[in-house]
Amino acid sequence: MAAEPITISSQLLTTRPLADSTIDDAKQRGVLIKTISFIETEPIRTAEIIQEVEAALLMRTTVVFTSMNAVDAVVEIMQDQLPDWQIYCIGHTTKILIEKYFGPDCIIGTADNAVALADRIIEDELADEVVFFCGDQRRPELPDMLFAAGLLVTEIVVYETIEVQHKLNESFAAVLFYSPSAVESFFRNNTLAAGTLVFAIGDTTATAVRKFCSNKIILADKPGKEALAKKAIEILAVN
């Protein structure tokens, strides 16, 4: 006997790719996920940046990562070296990458967002200075908080964020955003219907959305894009 066809009751737009298992699970529950990226990231490979990273690799120092893109960019330059770093980082995906390339023992502190990570670094009082690997559109909260607490912060910008323009001609029950830069790029050419739900990875992304619309915004319960997607699926599958 042939299986009954799946009826798609809701369409969800994610602005970053998700795991195939998440997309398949959503489909089984009547939620169709469409992926359209509104930003791309590119590592910066100028001679100056390469020299700065290589110099940091030789230092015994405290390092901060708040982005998986920064980790990837540094690892490309690092190659087979294993620096003597104490690392603070955002949890979940970024932490997993750091454990893979630097080892789990180098991580001395994590948090769910940049503000909480800055608080952790200040409270630990383990470093007077840090090297912050970041992108060209990094948020100011973490370095500003560390400066205000008297820490010396050396920022090394190792990747750039590039907007990718899309004009959408369809409606979605919900849209998932993972960064303020993706929000900015999305709303350059698009608007949201009043009933479209917005799912945001955190407060800073939600704040960016509020500049462009008054739609209901639902925040992630846990860090990570898959957790945000699963929350959206749960809500759309019920409705």
What HEC string does 146-179 produce?
HHHCCCEEEEEEEEEEEECCCCCCCCCCEEEECC
Q: Which comes out higher in pLDDT, residue 104 or 223?
A: 104
Exposure pattern of 199-215 as b/e (b: 16+ CB <10 Å)?
bbbbebbbebbeebbeb
Q: What is the architecture, at CATH level 2, of domain 42-161?
A: 3-Layer(aba) Sandwich (3.40)
Segment 50-83, tens digit of pLDDT: 999 999 999 999 999 999 999 999 999 998 889 9
Least confident of 41-45, 92-96, 172-176: 92-96
Check residue 9 and give its pLDDT. 58
Question: Does the structure show a pLDDT above 90 at 177?
Answer: yes
Check residue 5 and give its pLDDT. 45
Domain boundaries of the chain, sorted by first residue: 1-38+164-169+176-190, 42-161
Question: Does the structure show a pLDDT above 60 at 1?
Answer: no
Question: Does the structure show a pLDDT above 90 at 93?
Answer: no
Check residue 220 and give its pLDDT. 84
Question: Does the structure show a pLDDT above 70 at 194?
Answer: yes
Both tokens of residue 112? 């769910």
Least confident of 60-64, 167-171, 215-219: 167-171
Question: Does the structure show a pLDDT above 90 at 115?
Answer: yes
Q: How many CB atoms lie within 10 A of CB 48?
A: 9
Nearest to 77 by CA among 61, 58, 100: 58
The contacts of residue 224 (CB under 8 Å, 6+ apart) are: 92, 93
Beta-strand ranges (E) seen in the chain are: 10-14, 31-35, 39-43, 61-65, 85-90, 107-111, 129-135, 152-163, 174-177, 197-200, 217-219
Beta-strand pair 39-43/152-163: antiparallel
Section 117-144 average pLDDT? 96
Work out the percent of the chain whose per-residue pLDDT is above 90. Answer: 85
For the chain, give the mean pLDDT.
92
Confidence of residue 180 (pLDDT cuts 50, 70, 90): very high
* Contact (Cβ atoms closer than 8 angstroms) between residue 65 and residue 42: no
What letter does residue 140 receive in the DSSP assignment?
S
Confidence of residue 224 (pLDDT cuts 50, 70, 90): confident
Indicate the SS3 state at residue 86.
Answer: strand
Section 119-131 average pLDDT? 96
* Contact (Cβ atoms closer than 8 angstroms) between residue 202 and residue 41: no
